[in-house]
């Protein structure tokens, strides 16, 4: 039975989503994308920037993007602080509600906050995309407990960890915590060998997801012998 990532009724074999920014050349980006195996790629449009600082700006640019022929699938960012690039959840929820009513498939970048995630789902979001750490920081998973709570409580839509992944182990941990997918850009684009890092991220997402499905062993304070203790010569 296929184990696909399903968003808004569309199935993806790959659970890795990649971006297009910060690459040293178009050719390098194309090679890295091919190596990643990703089936979904986010595109930042300079003249029609889908990142907004208010709900009104985000709604307007999403409409313009669709008018010029881009997808009605929107990775929605409504930024509340320019230095940290943390989202303004109040404005984000409002923009999500309006865009969903207009037929957009909205994938909102949000905090690792259960209440915000619930409100986004109520507004019609097709997925919730909590940050692991600030965008482009490469700090990795900063609040694993929050992601675990989100995983346990959010079952209606996929949970995709977005932002802050720095290396393959971060991607694996995100998936081991139960994320349905991982979205990244800088971790691959700023690697010394982008193609090799893209391959590593592809494999890490697969391994982390399998580990989550398999169920890890319980943690113990003391040792537990792997060989039977009966029959030991004393």
Per-residue tokens: 172: 């694996």
Give the integer Cα–Cα distance in Å for 120 and 17: 20
Beta-bridge partners for 51: 77
Per-residue tokens: 13: 């074999």
75 is catalytic: yes
Instruction: Tell me which residue has tokens 């997402």.
Output: 205
Active-site pick, 22, 75, 119, 210: 75
Instruction: Please identify every residue annotated as catalytic.
Output: 75
């Amino acid at each position: 039975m296929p184990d696909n990532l399903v968003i808004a009724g569309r199935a993806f074999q790959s659970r890795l989503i990649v971006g297009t920014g910060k690459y040293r050349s178009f050719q390098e980006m194309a090679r890295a994308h091919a190596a990643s195996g990703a089936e979904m790629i986010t595109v930042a449009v300079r003249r029609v920037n889908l990142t907004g600082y208010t709900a009104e700006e985000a709604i307007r640019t999403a409409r313009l993007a669709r008018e010029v022929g881009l997808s009605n699938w929107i990775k929605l960012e409504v930024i509340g602080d320019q230095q940290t690039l943390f989202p303004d959840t109040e404005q984000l929820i409002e923009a999500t509600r309006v865009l969903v009513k207009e037929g957009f498939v909205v994938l909102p970048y949000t905090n690792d906050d259960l209440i915000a995630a619930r409100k986004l789902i109520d507004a019609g979001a097709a997925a919730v995309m909590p940050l692991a750490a600030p965008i482009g920081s490469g700090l990795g998973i900063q609040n694993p407990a929050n992601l675990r709570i989100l995983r346990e409580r959010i079952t209606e839509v996929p949970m995709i960890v977005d932002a802050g992944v720095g290396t393959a182990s971060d991607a694996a941990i995100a998936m081991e915590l139960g994320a349905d997918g991982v979205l990244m850009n800088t971790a691959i684009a700023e690697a010394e060998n982008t193609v090799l890092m893209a391959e590593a991220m592809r494999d890490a997402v697969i391994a982390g997801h399998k580990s989550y499905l398999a169920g890890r062993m319980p943690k113990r304070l003391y040792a537990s012998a792997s060989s039977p203790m009966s029959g030991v010569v004393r």
